[in-house]
C-alpha cells in the first residue's frame, strides 16, 4: 500500500557537501561501491540528465554513475524492480512513465500526492520505493532565476494534462496563481481539473484567442520537441498582452518554435533547461549524498552538450 511521507530526504553515509564547498576532481574513479542512478523514459536519448548528473558527480568527487535507461511502456515495473534488485539508489522518470511511477511507489511525498505523478524514485534501505515530484518546484525556481516573480492573483495557462502539467499547475496554485489548463484531448483536461479542483479548463481550439487574459503561458507537452509529434508547434501570439511570459519545458531544441514565435512578438521567454537543472537537485542529493549547485558553470556544461 502506498503511504504518505512528509519527512526529509533520507540521509546518506557520505558527508553532505553544500553549494559553495570545494568541488572535487575533474574525473573520478568508479569502484565496486559506486552509487548508481539513472533516468527511465521512452525515448530517453534526448535526455540531458546523464550529462548533468555525471558532471555533478565529477565536480564533487562522488564515486557514482548516472545512466540513461530506455524502457518501453508495459515494462516499467519490471525494469524498476530490476534496478532496485541490482543495487541502484533510485532513478528519474520521464515521458511516458511518470504516472506509472506514482502508482508503483510505496511512499509518496506531498509533492507527488499533489501532482499525481512522480519524476524521482528513491530506493530506501527498508526496501520501499519513495516517490517525489520535483517538476513543479523546479519550474518555479527556473522562472525566478530568470527574474520573473510569481504574483498571487495573476493568471496562468498551462498547455498539457500529463504528469508534468499537473506538477507545474499544482506548484503555480500553491503560489496563489489562478491557473487554467488546455489539452488536445478535452477529457484529459477535465480529469486534471477534477484532480485539482481550483483549475479552470480552456478548449484547445480557443486558447490562442484568450492569451490576453494571462500573464504566464507554460507548454508542458512534447509539442515542439525535437523528434516529438509536432516539432514545428508554433501557435499565434496575436492576442497576447505585452506582459505575457512564455515558458516551455522542452529543452531540445533550446529555443522551440513556440519560444521563437513569442520572441518575434517581443514577449519574455523561459526555456526548459532551467527546470531540468533545478528539478534535479533533490534526487541527486538523495542518491549521492551531496547537495549540488545550480550555477553558471553547471548551465554552461549542459548547454555545451546541447550545442555539440
In sequence order, the β-bridge partners of residue 178 are: 155
164-167: long-range contacts (C-beta < 8 A, 24 or more apart)?
164/98, 164/117, 164/119, 164/135, 164/220, 164/249, 165/192, 165/220, 165/221, 166/115, 166/116, 166/117, 166/192, 166/195, 166/196, 167/111, 167/114, 167/115, 167/117, 167/119, 167/133, 167/135, 167/136, 167/139
Would you call 128 a catalytic residue per the annotation? Answer: no
Identify whether the C-beta of residue 272 lies closer than 8 Å to the C-beta of residue 250.
Answer: yes
In sequence order, the β-bridge partners of residue 298 are: none
Angle, vertex CA 307, rays to CA 303 and CA 308, nearest 5: 115
In this structure, what DSSP letter does residue 10 have?
Answer: P
Angle, vertex CA 206, rays to CA 200 and CA 208, nearest 5: 100
Identify whether the C-beta of residue 185 lies closer than 8 Å to the C-beta of residue 161.
Answer: yes
Q: Describe the strand order of the beta sheet including 120-123 as a list of residue ranges.
A: 3-5, 107-109, 129-132, 120-123, 90-93, 35-41, 64-70
Active-site residue, from 48, 59, 89, 98:
98
Identify whether the C-beta of residue 64 lies closer than 8 Å to the C-beta of residue 54.
Answer: no
Integer angstrom CA distances of residue 143 from 54, 139, 171: 25, 6, 12
* Residue where the block lists cell 511521507: 5
Active-site residue set: 98
Amino acid at each position: 500500500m502506498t503511504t504518505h511521507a512528509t519527512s526529509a530526504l533520507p540521509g546518506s553515509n557520505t558527508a553532505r557537501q553544500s553549494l559553495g564547498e570545494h568541488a572535487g576532481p575533474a574525473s573520478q574513479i568508479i569502484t565496486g561501491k559506486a552509487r548508481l542512478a539513472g533516468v527511465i523514459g521512452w525515448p530517453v536519448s534526448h535526455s540531458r540528465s546523464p550529462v548533468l548528473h555525471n558532471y555533478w558527480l565529477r565536480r564533487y568527487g562522488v564515486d557514482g554513475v548516472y545512466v540513461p535507461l530506455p524502457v518501453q511502456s508495459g515494462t516499467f515495473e519490471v525494469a524498476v524492480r530490476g534496478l532496485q534488485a541490482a543495487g541502484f539508489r533510485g532513478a528519474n522518470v520521464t515521458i511516458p512513465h511518470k504516472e506509472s511511477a506514482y502508482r508503483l511507489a510505496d511512499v509518496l511525498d506531498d509533492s507527488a500526492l499533489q501532482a499525481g505523478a512522480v519524476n524521482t524514485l528513491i530506493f530506501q534501505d527498508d526496501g520501499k520505493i519513495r516517490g517525489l515530484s520535483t517538476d513543479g518546484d523546479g519550474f518555479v525556481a527556473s522562472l525566478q532565476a530568470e527574474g520573473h516573480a510569481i504574483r498571487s492573483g495573476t493568471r496562468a495557462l498551462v498547455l498539457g494534462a500529463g504528469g508534468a502539467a499537473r506538477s507545474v499547475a499544482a506548484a503555480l496554485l500553491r503560489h496563489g496563481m489562478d491557473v487554467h489548463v488546455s489539452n488536445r484531448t478535452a477529457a484529459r483536461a477535465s480529469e486534471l481539473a477534477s484532480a485539482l479542483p481550483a483549475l479552470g479548463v480552456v478548449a484547445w481550439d480557443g486558447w490562442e484567442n484568450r492569451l490576453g487574459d494571462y500573464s504566464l503561458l507554460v507548454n508542458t507537452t512534447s509539442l515542439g520537441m525535437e523528434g516529438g509529434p509536432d516539432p514545428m508547434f508554433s501557435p499565434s501570439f496575436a492576442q497576447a498582452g505585452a506582459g505575457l511570459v512564455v515558458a516551455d519545458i522542452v529543452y531540445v531544441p533550446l529555443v522551440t518554435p513556440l519560444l521563437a514565435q513569442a520572441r518575434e512578438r517581443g514577449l519574455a521567454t523561459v526555456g526548459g533547461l532551467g527546470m531540468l537543472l533545478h528539478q534535479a537537485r533533490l534526487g541527486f542529493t538523495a542518491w549521492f549524498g551531496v547537495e549540488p549547485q545550480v550555477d553558471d558553470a553547471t548551465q554552461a556544461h549542459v548547454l555545451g552538450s546541447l550545442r555539440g
